[in-house]
Structure 1
Amino acid sequence: MGSLRKDTKGQWIALSGLVISLILIGLAVLANQAILAGYHSSNAALEFPKENIRELNLHTHDNARMIRSMSFYINSTTNETVPDAFDQLFDNYSIQMKKLYAVHGEVVDVSMVSINSTTGKYTMDDIDMVLVNITYDDGITHYVAEPELIEVNK
């Protein structure tokens, strides 16, 4: 029995096995952290609402052109002036956009600043531009375009 206590060759094998296993565990943890860091960095780029902002701008431009046509139609069928009809229709559009984006937890404000006319008569060819303030906020990203120039006679 005494000779087994003095024989320490097996301790070196056990110690080297423990060291190698700790090194392998450390490498596995580092590889896992690298994978998670890559996932989170790529996911952060996807969380930016670029498409939502682009879609809001596109809808606003398209609807401003439609509202222009509708305001001239309202002017031809009723006694309401073109600027008043345009204001009323654009306010309705703004309210609808607030409600649509609120469903997704986003705050949107689309407000008209002014209608620019070349002559001041408001015929179909005279309304050229509309100045609009567009604000988008989803709690993380805040986007403001003040004033956004929309050419409506395209």
Structure 2
Amino acid sequence: MESLKKDTSGQWILLSGLVIAIMLVVVATLFNQVNITGYYASNAALEFPKEDIRELSTQTRLTTSQAYDKAVIINQSSNQTIEQITTSLIQSYNSQLSTIYASHGKAVDVEVANFTYGPNNSTEIVSIWVDITYDDGTTFYSAEPEIVEVNQ
């Protein structure tokens, strides 16, 4: 029994085994952190509402163009100017759009900012500047101004 106490050659094997076990635990923890970080980073990119914003911008451009065309027609039988009619139609669009997006927990606001007139004829509207804001609680987007060419 005395000879086993004096034989220390097995201590190096135990010590190296303990060091290797600790290193494996550290490496496994680091790999786990890398996987979790990659998951959350890619998930955050998927949660960005770029399709909602793109759809809002496209629909607003189309509606602004159509509102201008309708305003030109209504102006022929009305006392209001094209600017007043277009602004009124965009306000109605904004009201309906806000209601639809609010039912999904998002805030949207579309407002007419400015009218740009042609160089040759001071009464000819060339483009309409529209301010668009989008907020879903996480992402805030603002396009000020979104320029819509209407008289082409």
Q: Do both share a fold (TM > 0.5)?
A: yes
Q: Aligned residue for 1:91?
A: 91
C-alpha contact (below 8 Å) 1:108/1:136 kept by paired residues: yes
Measured in 2, the distance between the counterparts of 1:63 and 1:127 equals 16
Residue type of the alignment partner of 1:87: T
What residue number does 1:136 align with? 134
Give the CA RMSD over aligned residues: 2.6
Moved more, 1-10 or 88-97: 1-10
TM-score by length of 2: 0.77
Specify every segment of 5 or more residues in structure 2 that has no aligned partner in the other structure, as ranges.
none
Q: Which residue of 2 aligns with 1:151?
A: 149
Tell me the CA shift for residue 110 of structure 1. 0.6
Structure 1 window deviating more from structure 2 (58-67 vs 105-114): it is 105-114
Aligned length: 149
Unaligned runs of 5+ in 1: none
**Given that residues 67 and 86 in structure 1 are in contact (C-alpha distance below 8 angstroms), is that contact kept between their aligned partners in structure 2?**
yes
Report the Cα distance in structure 1 between the residues aligned to 2:106 and 2:58, rounded to whole angstroms: 17
> Aligned runs of 1:16-95 on 2, under 5 Å?
16-75=16-75, 79=78, 81=80, 82-95=82-95
The code of the aligned residue for 1:142 comes to F
Percentage identity across aligned positions? 45
C-alpha displacement at 1:112, in angstroms? 1.0
Name the amino acid aligned to 1:7: D
Distance in 2 of aligned mates of 1:19 and 1:147: 63
**1:105, 1:120 → 2: CA distance?**
43
Aligned match of 2:114: 114
- C-alpha contact (below 8 Å) 1:74/1:80 kept by paired residues: no
* Counterpart AA for 1:20: I
Q: What is the deviation of 1:75?
A: 4.2
Judged with a 3 Å threshold, the aligned counterparts in structure 2 of structure 1 residues 60 and 52 are, in CA distance, closer, same or farther, namely same
After superposition, give the CA deviation of every residue in 1:30-78 in whole Å (9 maximum; x if it has no partner): 12222222233333333333332222211110111111223334445x5
Deviations 1:54-113 (A, max 9, x none): 22211110111111223334445x546344432222111111222222233322211112
- Cα gap change, 1:4 to 1:74, in 2 (>3 Å): same
User: Taking structure 1 as the reference length, what is the TM-score of the superposition?
Assistant: 0.76
2:151 partner SS: coil
